[in-house]
Chains A and B, each alone.
Chain A
């Protein structure tokens, strides 16, 4: 596999739990906003105006700056038809690009298989966090999942290096052997080999990392700093994944939603500052999504599960601006009280896959979907 230092890279930031679109990008001239949000209304004084029609949540200051600098695409009304309004099912749908049946392969897992068809680099995809999101799972695809970059390695407690080396060789032989006893055993074998190789590669990153950026204190700040650390070490990682939450604000939404966006906005800004400092930003695109938006009418202190949401694409090669359109907010236009999606998420995936990662999208997203082009090509 030939890797170039400036191969296009995508960073996925999942906003878990269902982010409230209506209070993230506020259509502030629309009386339906004020009528439907008796308890969770954000005043015009507090909201951060971005144009003649829309404003951002007050906690999204750094996000507004990114938008104003022309490096952010806001994608309105994203989702898919017949939202099940279940977190798990909806997250599965976003992860597998398969709304009609249960998909077994993640869209990014499939993309990684195209980017690194012979699975030569076990850190082509890196998840920062506990567990592995389904979006990254595909047979034959290796993904390093790193909870803590500083202590990553196998059999680290064996004191004598010579003994540890011997045991790691045995481990490698045992996990590399085809045992012929089923999928789970094969998956375990591949995972063990990847863990071994990945740990060897990743251990150099923290030593190489230099930055003057002090990330704000939050779990998403720590996660994005780990992403930056690995990206800046030029290890050939093309897909990064991390998440923050929970945006499942059924109750007490006002303070919770503000805290969540404060942490995300600050961390995103720190991340881009960090990358720019060493000219590592040009080949990176960041995509923020949530599994659904929330109900138009608030429930007194929070909002219930809804349908259409908003996504953000950020990076120096992004054609900043608004894409798709805000779904209609009048009561008759809603479905079960929810905004109706008008941009299929698979169309946005398609643009990222074809215009940025330069892989054929249709087999990955299970069909032909489109969106307006919000990206300059990575070349």
Chain B
């Protein structure tokens, strides 16, 4: 499905670089053009940051959720729903997919939020910096047991996942490399290391304990020296596999669904040329992320990728709520709403494992599909929501009298624009025809609005709408 019109291309960009945009926003972007819009998205400071104080005032628990992930999810949802810098949150979500850390084990959501804040602040910065920060991140240290990685009893959990899932991918290192890498991170721990029971939950901070660090020689990926963690990261960055791995993650998240990560050493990328292009940009930019993301959005392979990804549950929930303008600001329903992506298979701050979520068609099973369809359809049919009213008034502007075909076309335009297959179109039109032509004069407006809402809702339930 190649997108041709400017409006469609900008809508595609906004779905990927953010959480979608309504027609008013798209018109504003159209005035400055595509590339300038990409630059504006990347230039975070061009828009104000999210007002965190009203969240603090109305939902104080979401700032210090403690052991519960629910309030922490509400905190992040607030940022995603209210941000004027959508790419900032999208990058944080990207790194959360890659560096998946889960509160089910960490049991200290305050620190998980700190990790997300770090992604928010550094997500478009330098990848080396991100890895170093991650190695020192208390939630990550606890998640992958680096606090139990001792000079005389190395624990390989962090060392292995750093190589397998955060930088190189399976097949690009040996078991010896895992062990040597783990030794280099001995003594990288957290304080206060008081046991949780019976003393309760304490704020953690990164601590380097020299007496527990293994200063002896290590041989890692063919190099020998008295390496510590930062040396290991530098050696990792010199591997060609590293730039390819991160490039493939970017492609998978922003462009097109790839096979699941464990298959990457066995299955070729869908578009090897595109991954190579991004990998080369990574190396050239010295692993600066911003120029690579710019190159990605301005590439032809990106522009031709509309509707080639299955929308993630977070994209479904946030995209829908932003479009219909529901749960805005510090809404009392924030915490309840934050559970919705989890019902569809994406509990943010609580990925199923350090591998993160399986994406693409694996978002879809009958249970998750039921939840997605119900969530979006419920809201699109609610003609009292401000965003739905805006959509309907745009549809009404298209002509005082409207054929069933016209209603379907206008609704599809507002929902994407979303291209649908002939057979889907035939069903939508048949449904619209059951009640004949519409009139948007004053007397019939409400009735026609309800019909339009029903059509938006039916469109939201289509297969085509599950892609974004």
Interface positions of A (Cβ within 8 A of B):
84-89, 92, 101-102, 122, 127, 130-132, 142-147, 152-158, 163, 166-167, 170-171, 173-175, 177-179, 181, 183-185, 187-189, 191-192, 194-195, 198-199, 246, 248, 250-251, 255, 299-302, 304-305, 336
Give the complex CA separation of A305 and B373 in angstroms: 39
B267 near A171: Cβ-Cβ < 8 Å: no
Residues of chain A within 8 A of B364, CB atoms compared: 187-188, 191
B150 near A184: Cβ-Cβ < 8 Å: no
B155 near A195: Cβ-Cβ < 8 Å: no
Which of B157, B347, B381, B421 is the one whose CB lies under 8 Å from A179? B421
Residues of chain B within 8 A of A156, CB atoms compared: 374
A185 near B463: Cβ-Cβ < 8 Å: yes
A195 near B370: Cβ-Cβ < 8 Å: yes
B454 near A195: Cβ-Cβ < 8 Å: no
- Shortest CB distance B318–A (Å): 19
Which of A143, A166, A177, A302 is the one whose CB lies under 8 Å from B365? A143
**Could you tell me which residues of chain B, from 234 to 268, have a CB within 8 Å of some CB in chain A?**
257, 259, 261-263, 266-267
A86-B170, A185-B463, A188-B463 known; A131 vs B424 contact (CB < 8 Å): no
Residues of chain B within 8 A of A175, CB atoms compared: 463
A187 near B367: Cβ-Cβ < 8 Å: no
Give the complex CA separation of A287 and B331 in angstroms: 46
**Could you tell me which residues of chain B, from 252 to 304, have a CB within 8 Å of some CB in chain A?**
257, 259, 261-263, 266-267
Instruction: Answer whether residue B353 sits at the interface, using C-beta atoms and an 8 A cutoff.
Output: yes
A246 near B105: Cβ-Cβ < 8 Å: yes
A155-B374, A170-B431, A304-B157 known; A299 vs B148 contact (CB < 8 Å): yes
**Could you tell me which residues of chain B, from 416 to 448, have a CB within 8 Å of some CB in chain A?**
421, 423-424, 427-428, 430-431, 434
Give the complex CA separation of A137 and B326 in angstroms: 36
Give the complex CA separation of A299 and B154 in angstroms: 8
Residues of chain A within 8 A of B358, CB atoms compared: 131
Instruction: Answer whether residue B67 sits at the interface, using C-beta atoms and an 8 A cutoff.
Output: no
B463 near A153: Cβ-Cβ < 8 Å: no
Instruction: Answer whether residue B360 sits at the interface, using C-beta atoms and an 8 A cutoff.
Output: yes
Give the complex CA separation of A122 and B366 in angstroms: 10
Give the complex CA separation of A191 and B373 in angstroms: 12
A132-B365, A166-B431, A199-B370 known; A300 vs B153 contact (CB < 8 Å): yes
- Shortest CB distance B148–A (Å): 5
Residues of chain B within 8 A of A171, CB atoms compared: 373, 458, 461
Q: Can you spell out 9 A-B residue pairs with CB atoms less than 8 angstroms apart?
A: A86-B164, A102-B262, A127-B367, A130-B367, A154-B374, A175-B463, A246-B105, A300-B148, A305-B156
Give the complex CA separation of A179 and B362 in angstroms: 20
B369 near A191: Cβ-Cβ < 8 Å: yes
Chain B positions 167 through 178: 1 when the CB is less than 8 Å from some CB of chain A, otherwise 0: 000100001000
A145-B366, A174-B423, A174-B462 known; A89 vs B374 contact (CB < 8 Å): no
Instruction: Answer whether residue B112 sits at the interface, using C-beta atoms and an 8 A cutoff.
Output: no
A155 near B343: Cβ-Cβ < 8 Å: no
A184 near B310: Cβ-Cβ < 8 Å: yes
Q: How many residues does chain B have at the interface if contact means C-beta atoms less than 8 Å apart?
A: 64
A194 near B366: Cβ-Cβ < 8 Å: yes
Give the complex CA separation of A340 and B461 in angstroms: 50
Residue of chain A at shortest CB distance from B342: A130
Instruction: With a 10 A CB-CB cut-off, give which of A131, A144, A157 has the most chain B CB atoms.
Output: A131
Give the complex CA separation of A179 and B425 in angstroms: 11
Residues of chain A within 8 A of B310, CB atoms compared: 184
Instruction: Answer whether residue B466 sits at the interface, using C-beta atoms and an 8 A cutoff.
Output: yes
Give the complex CA separation of A336 and B145 in angstroms: 20
- Shortest CB distance B427–A (Å): 5
Q: How many A-B residue pairs have CB under 8 A?
A: 166
Give the complex CA separation of A147 and B313 in angstroms: 15
Give the complex CA separation of A198 and B105 in angstroms: 34
Give the complex CA separation of A144 and B370 in angstroms: 11
Which of B148, B175, B262, B370 is the one whose CB lies under 8 Å from A152? B370
Residues of chain B within 8 A of A178, CB atoms compared: 423
- Shortest CB distance A155–B (Å): 6
Residues of chain A within 8 A of B434, CB atoms compared: 166
Residues of chain A within 8 A of B461, CB atoms compared: 154-155, 167, 171, 174
**Could you tell me which residues of chain B, from 368 to 401, have a CB within 8 Å of some CB in chain A?**
368-371, 373-374, 377-378, 381
A300 near B170: Cβ-Cβ < 8 Å: no
Residues of chain A within 8 A of B148, CB atoms compared: 250-251, 299-302
Instruction: Answer whether residue B352 sits at the interface, using C-beta atoms and an 8 A cutoff.
Output: yes
A86-B164, A166-B434, A300-B148 known; A174 vs B424 contact (CB < 8 Å): yes
Give the complex CA separation of A152 and B381 in angstroms: 20
Which of B343, B347, B366, B457 is the one whose CB lies under 8 Å from A195? B366
A173-B427, A184-B310 known; A157 vs B377 contact (CB < 8 Å): yes
B423 near A177: Cβ-Cβ < 8 Å: yes
Give the complex CA separation of A199 and B157 in angstroms: 41
Residues of chain B within 8 A of A155, CB atoms compared: 373-374, 377, 457, 461
Give the complex CA separation of A130 and B342 in angstroms: 8
16 additional A-B pairs beyond A145-B367, A152-B370, beta carbons within 8 Å, are A89-B262, A92-B262, A102-B259, A102-B263, A131-B358, A131-B368, A155-B457, A173-B427, A174-B424, A175-B463, A188-B466, A192-B369, A195-B366, A248-B105, A302-B145, A302-B155
Give the complex CA separation of A250 and B342 in angstroms: 26
Residues of chain A within 8 A of B343, CB atoms compared: 130, 147
A144-B366, A154-B373, A166-B434 known; A87 vs B463 contact (CB < 8 Å): no
A130-B343, A177-B423, A177-B424 known; A158 vs B369 contact (CB < 8 Å): no
Residues of chain B within 8 A of A194, CB atoms compared: 366
Residues of chain A within 8 A of B186, CB atoms compared: none
Residue of chain A at shortest CB distance from B150: A300
A130-B342, A130-B343 known; A246 vs B104 contact (CB < 8 Å): yes
Residues of chain A within 8 A of B197, CB atoms compared: 255
A102-B267, A184-B360, A198-B366 known; A167 vs B458 contact (CB < 8 Å): yes
B374 near A147: Cβ-Cβ < 8 Å: no
- Shortest CB distance A190–B (Å): 9
A174 near B463: Cβ-Cβ < 8 Å: yes
Instruction: Answer whether residue B345 sits at the interface, using C-beta atoms and an 8 A cutoff.
Output: yes
Residues of chain A within 8 A of B156, CB atoms compared: 304-305
Give the complex CA separation of A131 and B357 in angstroms: 10
- Shortest CB distance B116–A (Å): 21
Which of A173, A181, A255, A304 is the one whose CB lies under 8 Å from B155? A304
